[in-house]
């Protein structure tokens, strides 16, 4: 018997790893899809902190896709569980960024110097675009673009990341059945 067999990361993949990796993957795609939808369809221009909160999703989605594939094919239980842990780290990082951003929006923390994301150009004319560059002011990280049930987009990112983190944690360390 393998000396690592009692360590959760080394146990055989089971239904919990398949379900957790699927849930986390779908959840992460839904979160980033919503953010992109609000930006491109809703017209909300993200600030620098909003954009920074997306980066862990851009890393985590491919990691979790590989983890899900590994779990479904029962390819490598160690790989599946390690990718759940790696994704968990991504989710905890974006939750921390979202909490910081929420604190900036509520005035608890100062906005970073790099606060600002750019602008939304409505003209495809190159001359208008250059004029827009010199006159547009990027959105402030301190101003929430909107609130739903009293919570900003950054706050909802924290909620989503914490829920997905708990599922990833359970999947990574859950016992094989």
Whole-number Å distance between alpha carbons of 67 and 7: 19
Contact in structure between 22 and 28 (CB atoms under 8 Å): no
Tell me 42's DSSP state.
T
- For residue 134, is it within any domain? yes
Written as six digits, the tokens of 69 are: 């594939």
Contact in structure between 70 and 87 (CB atoms under 8 Å): no
Which range of residues forms the domain containing residue 115?
Answer: 8-173
Per the structure, how many domains does the chain have?
A: 1
Residue with the two structure tokens 């990361």: 9
Determine whether 48 is exposed, middle or buried from the number of CB atoms within 10 Å of its CB (0-12, 13-18, 19+). buried
CATH code of 75's domain: 1.20.1550
Instruction: Give the three-class secondary structure for 147.
Output: strand
The per-residue pLDDT for 45 is 80
State CA 130 to chain mean position distance.
Answer: 32
Instruction: Give the three-class secondary structure for 52.
Output: helix
pLDDT in tens, the chain (177 residues): 444 555 454 455 578 899 999 999 999 999 999 989 888 888 788 888 888 899 999 999 999 999 999 999 888 888 999 999 999 999 999 999 999 989 888 888 787 777 754 444 444 555 565 555 555 556 776 676 766 787 788 888 999 999 999 999 999 998 765
- For residue 1, is it within any domain? no
Whole-number Å distance between alpha carbons of 162 and 92: 7
- For residue 3, is it within any domain? no
Residue with the two structure tokens 């980033």: 32
- For residue 2, is it within any domain? no
- Tell me if the pTM is above 0.85: no
Q: How far apart are the first and last CA of the chain?
A: 18
Strands, E, within the chain: which ranges?
A: 147-148, 151-152
Residue with the two structure tokens 């992109």: 36
The per-residue pLDDT for 117 is 43
CB atoms within 10 A of CB 38: 17
């Amino acid at each position: 018997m393998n000396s690592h067999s009692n360590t959760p990361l080394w146990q055989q993949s089971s239904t919990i790893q398949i379900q957790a990796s699927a849930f986390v993957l779908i959840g992460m795609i839904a979160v980033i899809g919503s953010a992109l939808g609000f930006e491109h369809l809703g017209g909300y221009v993200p600030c620098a902190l909003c954009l920074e909160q997306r980066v862990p999703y851009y890393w985590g989605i491919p990691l979790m896709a590989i983890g899900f594939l590994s779990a479904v094919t029962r390819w490598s239980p160690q790989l599946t569980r390690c990718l759940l842990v790696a994704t968990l780290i991504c989710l905890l990082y974006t939750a921390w960024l979202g909490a910081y951003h929420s604190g900036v929006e509520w005035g608890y923390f100062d906005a970073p110097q790099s606060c600002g994301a750019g602008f939304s150009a409505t003209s495809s004319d190159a001359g208008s675009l250059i004029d827009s560059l010199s006159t547009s002011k990027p959105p402030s990280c301190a101003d929430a673009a909107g609130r739903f049930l009293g919570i900003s987009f950054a706050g909802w990112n924290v909620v989503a990341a914490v829920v997905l983190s708990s599922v990833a944690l359970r999947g990574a360390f859950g016992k094989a059945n």
